[in-house]
Structure 1
Amino acid sequence: MTYGLQLDPEKTAVVIQGTQRDLLDPDGVLSTPGIRNHVESQGMIAHIRQIAETFRARGAGVVHVLFVIEKDGRGTKANAPLYRGVLAAGGIRRGTWGVEPIDALAPREGDFVIEKARENPFYNTTFESVLTGLGVDTLVVVGALTSGGIEHTARHAADAGYRVLVPEDAVAGQSATSHRNTIEGFLPAVAEITTTRDIIDAMQHVAH
């Protein structure tokens, strides 16, 4: 828990990832009961919406990161089990229903949308250029999966000099156990573990 949290909307962005239909929708080709059950028990979708709306209201950056593979699968190197599995399942393919975020977390006007082709959103994308353009030094990282894109983002962001906050109830894992192992593992070394309520309060009560 982070007490007395203070955030400057002009220097803070929320990074939303792992919200695509193929991962979160029951009909998604990469979705599992374990993921969906943990998303629901966390209240993740509602919490992300609350954070995003607060950021938009304060003029802070809202950045969506979408994992996108070309429709024919070409251009994705299957060098690791994760990428081999995604390719074999045919998920998150460009132009398909499943590659889009679920309706409840769809990007709004004024939000930024970044495409990534690996777990790390900093790798070979325009992500950091957008963050630099926004002038932010603090990232609030939300979405799924806790042990995947969330931890990848936090580790790289910390190395790149960003302050990272992860509201524990606005992220979800492959299961409650996987999520807890990450939250209690290395993640707190590179990110401050907090809550949705703390983030919203810090954004709403900041002095100008």
Structure 2
Amino acid sequence: MTAVQTHGLGNRDLLDQYLAAGFAGRVGWGERVAVLVIDMAGAWTRPDEMIGANLDGVLDNIRRLLEVVRERDDIPVVFTTMAYDETYSDLPLVTRLKTPHSERMIRGSERVRLVPELDRRPHEALIEKPRASAFFNTNLLSILVAQRIDTVIVVGCSTSGCIRSTCESALDYGFRAIVPAEAVGDRSASAHEANLFDINARYADVLPIDEVIDHLGRRPRTGTAVTTGG
């Protein structure tokens, strides 16, 4: 009888299988870095919401990262949320059928507002994305290309959905993606662990948050980032 494999970053057998198959290489750090803070808004961060969870630990680690980044002037920060018109004119039926909670993501509502603890600055871009990936049907690619970014640090939620999808798109567009493990979260612990494993094997480098912060602290400056407006 074949043993059932448990997915996780510590799954040595599966990782060995992936390495033998040519998975789980390292993308490393590039020359110019940006931080993408994915969907840290009310609908995802409040446990009493339909798809919410307690992400206090994730939020604390994102704030640690932002504190280091904001001491520099060469690393842009881009925030995302998901929002739709109250008439659902921009929300396709198939999306509503598959993810009915999207009908509650009304533009301007508390559910889609960033949590105030992030203290978004006026020059830090905020993007409304219609789907899981921060790149799909948004101007994120233009923002990154304009600033010659080649590496994105992806934080926020949810690991199994928007984080994974954004990392996949980042790879598709040729960006190096770095995911600080403690700065992403999910409402499901098992989904979080399984998707971190796959993200690390297929799309991005999953690193400890302390290693990411240490790297940024030692990283030479590359020139002032172009502000993107509020």
Greater C-alpha Rg: 2
Q: Where does residue 46 of structure 1 map in the other structure?
A: 60
Q: Where does residue 74 of structure 1 map in the other structure?
A: 89
Whether the aligned pair in 2 keeps the contact of 1:76 and 1:83 (CA below 8 Å) is no
Amino acid at match of 1:76: L
TM-score by length of 1: 0.85
1:137, distance to aligned residue in structure 2 (A): 0.2
Structure 1 CA distance for aligned equivalents of residues 86 and 211 of structure 2: 40
CA separation of 1:132/1:7 partners in 2, compared to 1, >3 Å: closer, same or farther?
A: closer
**Correspondent of 1:108 among 106, 118, 121:** 121
Structure 1 CA distance for aligned equivalents of residues 217 and 167 of structure 2: 24
Q: Where does residue 56 of structure 1 map in the other structure?
A: 70
Structure 1: unaligned runs, 5 residues or longer:
none
1:66, distance to aligned residue in structure 2 (A): 1.2
Q: Where does residue 173 of structure 2 map in the other structure?
A: 160
Amino acid at match of 1:173: D
1:124, distance to aligned residue in structure 2 (A): 1.2
Moved more, 18-27 or 170-179: 18-27
CA-atom RMSD in angstroms:
2.3
Q: Percent identity?
A: 26
Structure 2: unaligned runs, 5 residues or longer:
1-8, 10-24, 222-230
The answer to whether structure 1 residue 23 and structure 2 residue 44 are counterparts is yes
TM-score by length of 2: 0.78
**Correspondent of 2:210 among 197, 204, 207:** 197
1:55, distance to aligned residue in structure 2 (A): 1.4
Whether the aligned pair in 2 keeps the contact of 1:7 and 1:202 (CA below 8 Å) is no
Whether the aligned pair in 2 keeps the contact of 1:71 and 1:95 (CA below 8 Å) is no
What do residues 104-130 of structure 1 show as CA deviations (whole Å, max 9, x unaligned)? 124213211111111111111111111
Structure 2 CA distance for aligned equivalents of residues 190 and 140 of structure 1: 12
Amino acid at match of 1:201: D
Runs of 4+ aligned structure 1 residues displaced above 6 Å come to none
- Partner SS, residue 142 of structure 1: strand
Moved more, 157-166 or 50-59: 50-59
